[in-house]
């Protein structure tokens, strides 16, 4: 009996204390590399309440913008793995940037603990009809080819998902359009609305207001399937560029060494949020598709995604020092 008790005490001692007391009374900080009101922030806010309820904890947002999300990523990579500092990760921070940036202050694969994906996000080919009066993807392609050098496209920054989505589109459709990068989504979309550039691939949720207001026209979504928020808009693939597909994801990562019990608890809280009807409905209205995977599944997804984005980055010629 004494040996059994000693063994039990030893096993309990082996469990990190933080896993036994977390989340405790301290808030959990969600660090994100994109500004308040951005698509990433909107999704984070939708998941916040059901996750707080599932964990009995409070979440606070910490916006550390810049460098394509790398500033926020570095902060979390260097954070204590105690479950109180989590990264709102994206296909950019853990897919694109490893190939895009020549130097990173962290290792996207080895300095983080994958927790769970939240959503898949579709972009949509958005045009200013006063600049290029195309009503379909095929018309758009024909007009661009008939007017070489006339039309430029906007992006939310060099090497971002909006840039690379268009770069791949250019390649598959055999177009030759000039890329004009902006500092973020609001600036890029404003440039399209003003007519400084003709078009952009932007997140569905970011262009719905302008589309409903009639200032822009939507020609095709970048995902494999149509998007519930704009079901009348075809996919790029079905509308004239067979095989085209491009989407991004938002998810959660912790620092390297995050306790598996904490990882599993956070993952379960994400699952609860994904299964909440009001969350699913709102995500669908915004053009996002909720997704849940186990931490191991998410890790495999990211690895494959990183290889895919590396090929797109190389083909585009994009690079950031």
pLDDT digits (tens, 9 = 90+) for 230-250: 999 999 999 999 999 988 899
- CATH 3.40.190.150 positions along the chain are 2-121+248-316
pLDDT at 14 over 50: no
Q: For 190-216, how does the pLDDT look when each residue is reduced to its tens digit (9 = 90+)?
A: 999 999 999 999 989 889 999 999 999
d(CA 57, CA 54) in angstroms, rounded, equals 8
Please give the backbone phi and psi of residue 124, each rounded to the nearest 5 degrees, phi first.
-140, 140
d(CA 74, CA 108) in angstroms, rounded, equals 9
Residue 5 pLDDT class (50, 70, 90 cuts): very low
Q: For 18-46, how does the pLDDT look when each residue is reduced to its tens digit (9 = 90+)?
A: 567 899 889 999 999 988 888 889 999 99
- CATH 3.40.190.10 positions along the chain are 122-239
CA neighbours closer than 13 Å in the CB half-sphere of residue 250:
28
Please identify, in words, the CATH class of the domain defined by 2-121+248-316: alpha beta
pLDDT of residue 247: 84
Topology (CATH) of 122-239: D-Maltodextrin-Binding Protein; domain 2 (3.40.190)
């Amino acid at each position: 009996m004494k040996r059994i008790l000693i063994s039990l005490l030893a096993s309990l001692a082996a469990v990190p204390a933080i896993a036994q007391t977390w989340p405790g009374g301290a808030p959990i900080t969600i660090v994100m590399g994109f500004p308040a009101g951005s698509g990433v922030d909107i999704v984070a806010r939708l998941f916040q309440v059901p996750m707080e309820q599932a964990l009995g904890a409070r979440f606070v947002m910490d916006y550390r913008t810049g460098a394509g999300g790398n500033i926020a990523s570095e902060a979390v990579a260097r954070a204590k793995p105690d479950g109180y500092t989590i990264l709102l990760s994206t296909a950019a921070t853990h897919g694109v940037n490893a190939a895009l940036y020549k130097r990173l202050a962290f290792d996207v694969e080895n300095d983080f603990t994958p927790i769970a994906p939240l959503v898949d996000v579709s972009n949509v080919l958005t045009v200013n009809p006063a600049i290029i009066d195309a009503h379909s993807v095929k018309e758009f392609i024909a007009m661009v080819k008939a007017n070489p050098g006339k039309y430029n496209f906007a992006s939310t920054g060099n090497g971002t998902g909006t840039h690379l989505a268009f770069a791949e589109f250019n390649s598959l459709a055999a177009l030759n359009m000039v890329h004009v990068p902006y500092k973020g989504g609001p600036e890029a979309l404003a440039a399209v609305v003003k007519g400084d550039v003709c078009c952009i691939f932007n997140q569905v949720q970011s262009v719905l207001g302008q589309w409903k207001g009639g200032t822009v026209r939507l020609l095709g979504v970048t995902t494999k399937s149509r998007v519930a928020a704009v079901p009348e808009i075809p996919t790029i693939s079905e509308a004239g560029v067979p095989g085209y597909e491009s989407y991004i994801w938002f998810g959660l990562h912790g620092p390297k060494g995050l306790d598996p019990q904490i990882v599993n608890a956070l993952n379960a809280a994400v699952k609860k949020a994904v299964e909440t009807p009001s969350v699913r409905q709102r995500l669908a209205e915004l053009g996002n598709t909720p997704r849940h995977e186990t931490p191991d599944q998410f890790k495999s997804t990211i690895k494959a995604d990183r290889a895919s984005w590396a090929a797109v980055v190389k083909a585009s010629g994009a690079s950031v020092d």
